[in-house]
Structure 1
Amino acid sequence: MPESIRGTVANAGAAVHSPDVELLARTSEAVRAAGSLLVERFGDAVRHESRADLMRALAANDHAVLAALRPRLAQLRPDARWVEDELQGGALPPGEWWLVDPVEGNINHLHGLREWAVTATLVRANRPVLTAVHLPLSGETYTALAGAGAHLDGRRLHVSETTDLGLALAATSQARPDENAAVVRRLGSSITAMLLDALVVRVSVPATLHLLSVAAGRIDAFWQFAGARADLLPGALLVSEAGGLVSDIEGRAWTPESDSFLATAPGVHAAAVATLTR
């Protein structure tokens, strides 16, 4: 992590556990180094003749990044366990866990699209403690540390001040391929509802990149049904540390066991809940 980020976080307040400040700096350095491998593998869209071919290409990207990233993170926290399947949801067992998505937006990477990232989040007692999200093509690194705010390359992030959902840019994302039919129908209905109430609705993957934009004040609201821990926990920490509200779509406290997710600027949260639950 650049020295400016380390200094910004370190000065955020005495309540922040100082070893976590340095840990976030090292985690940021690790995701940046791993991200360079993805740049080398990025190019024009490659079409695959079968689902099996596509899955092998996705796995090859994952393995290339993890070969560089996993040893570095394991060295930082030798006792932290590793979440093996980033697509899973639900609560984690007690203790510390590294939650990593080596290629968040992997399908975009393979299709020659620019919306992909490397993410690493430390979860402690089922709460995200710190996260680093690196966008290799732009060189940007988003970081958040519980109690110390969210930052983009050292610049403090704040969610938008929008108070009218009718002027809001909202976004949603498909949680995973082969989602069950009930979740797909629920998502379709929610998009229709939001199209009627918000100014504009974006629908794309991956979720984490939308949540970066919520934290940075570029998008006013994001929602998703179901979802994987690796999709939502990094963004949940970034948005909350940037002053946003994170809940389920009914406005209740969100946990990794919730069946829906909503992250918004405070001024549109109530209206977004009303739209998504009517």
Structure 2
Amino acid sequence: MTQLITEVEAVVREVGARLAGQQGTEPTAARTRDEAFAAFRELDQPATELLRERLGPLRPQAGWLDDELDSALPADGEWWSCDATDGAVQYLLGLPHWAVTATLLREGEAVLAVVHAPRLDACYTAVRGAGARLNGCQIRPSERELNAAVVATSHPPTITEDPAALRRVGATTSAVIGAGVLAVRNLGPTALQVAQVGSGHLDAFWECGLDAPNLLPGALIAAEAGAKVTDHAGEPWRPSTSTGFLAAPMSQHEALVRVLSAAI
């Protein structure tokens, strides 16, 4: 996998550089949801096509998942799950918090992941069983106590379709803030925020609802860096898990599980 991760990183960096070169500093002029989606498709489709064109020959036997919003992932074989603009909202607003992601799945689990944020000069990579890196340097989670922690969260794009998960978003956010953490933030792209748990730039990340394609690349990076990745009850997280997601360093994980479990 050493050669493959190098090649995948090069592809992701190429796509990221192209998108960064196209991004303006001013917010999009879109005034409606439809206009915003049209602007998103205009930038995302060519970038996605380039990812597919470049990654396909690297793993000819691997399939391609066309919809990164679909949480129902294949359980058999190899598949690419990619997002050319994770954090498209920020991209369209002229903000730097967006990333290009590429994840290779094998038998339903991530075995290789790249999360690259061009405007932040941050490229995370991980191969299952081989650790995780940021810009080529090995990473590890923070060792801060919970009362000094900056904890991040987000929500799946389809959260409004799951009323129970939507209620848990409010309940868990109130609970985590009430637990005395230093701050709770949503810094945009899900995969990047989870990866940042692995490098200690964020202390922990939690989410409610199904969001496997967005969580998988960061989850592999965080876990390979040494963070603990589970559901809200502390059980191992899987792409089909509907009982929430939590990535946290060992020093904070148990306390956050208690907080999240009590909230739901």
Residue aligning to 1:273: 257
Contact 2:115–2:192 under 8 Å retained in 1:
no
Residue 27 (structure 1) aligned with residue 14 (structure 2): no
Report the equivalent of 1:97: 79
Aligned to 1:261: 245
Kindly provide the CA deviation profile for residues 201-238 of structure 1, in whole angstroms up to 9, marking residues without a partner as x: 11342211211210111211110012422210001100
Any residues of structure 2 matched to 1:201-240 within 5 Å, and which?
201-240=184-223
8 Å Cα contact 1:104/1:118 also seen in 2: yes
The answer to whether residue 52 in structure 2 is matched with residue 70 in structure 1 is yes
Moved more, 268-277 or 205-214: 205-214
- Aligned residues: CA RMSD: 1.3
Is the contact between residue 176 and residue 227 of structure 1 (CA under 8 Å) also seen in structure 2? no
CA-to-aligned-CA distance 1:77-113 (integer Å, 9 cap, x gap)? 1110011110111342300000101100011100111
Identity %: 37
Q: Is the 8 A contact 2:100 2:115 kept in 1?
A: yes
TM alignment of 1:1-278, pairs within 5 A: 20-43=1-24, 44-162=26-144, 164-176=145-157, 179-180=160-161, 181-197=163-179, 198-259=181-242, 260-278=244-262
Note if contact 1:86-1:228 (Cα within 8 Å) is conserved in structure 2.
no
- State the one-letter code of the partner of 1:239: A
Q: Distance in 2 between matches of 1:218 and 1:231?
A: 19
| Consecutive aligned runs of 4 or more in structure 1 exceeding 6 Å deviation | none
The whole-number CA distance in structure 1 between the counterparts of 2:121 and 2:236 is 33
- C-alpha deviation, 1:244, in angstroms: 0.5
Q: 2:240 aligns to what SS in structure 1? A: coil
Counterparts of 2:118 and 2:73 in 1: how far apart (Å)? 30
Offset at 1:66?
1.5
TM-score scaled by length of structure 2: 0.94
1:14 corresponding residue in structure 2: none
Q: Which runs of 5+ in 1 are unaligned?
A: 1-19
The Cα shift of 1:177 comes to 5.0
Give the unaligned 5+ runs of structure 2.
none
Moved more, 213-222 or 235-244: 213-222
The CA deviation at 1:139 is: 3.1
Q: Which region of structure 1 is more displaced relative to structure 2, 75-84 or 196-205?
A: 196-205
Q: TM-score, normalised by structure 1?
A: 0.89
Per the alignment, in what secondary structure is the counterpart of residue 160 of structure 2?
A: coil
CA distance in 1, matches of 2:134, 2:239: 25
Name the structure 2 match of 1:10: none
Q: Deviations over 1:105-152 (max 9, x none)?
A: 011100111100100010101111111111111332110011111001
Q: 1:58 to 1:178 in 2, by over 3 A?
A: farther
In structure 1, C-alpha distance between the alignment counterparts of 2:56 and 2:73, rounded to whole Å = 21
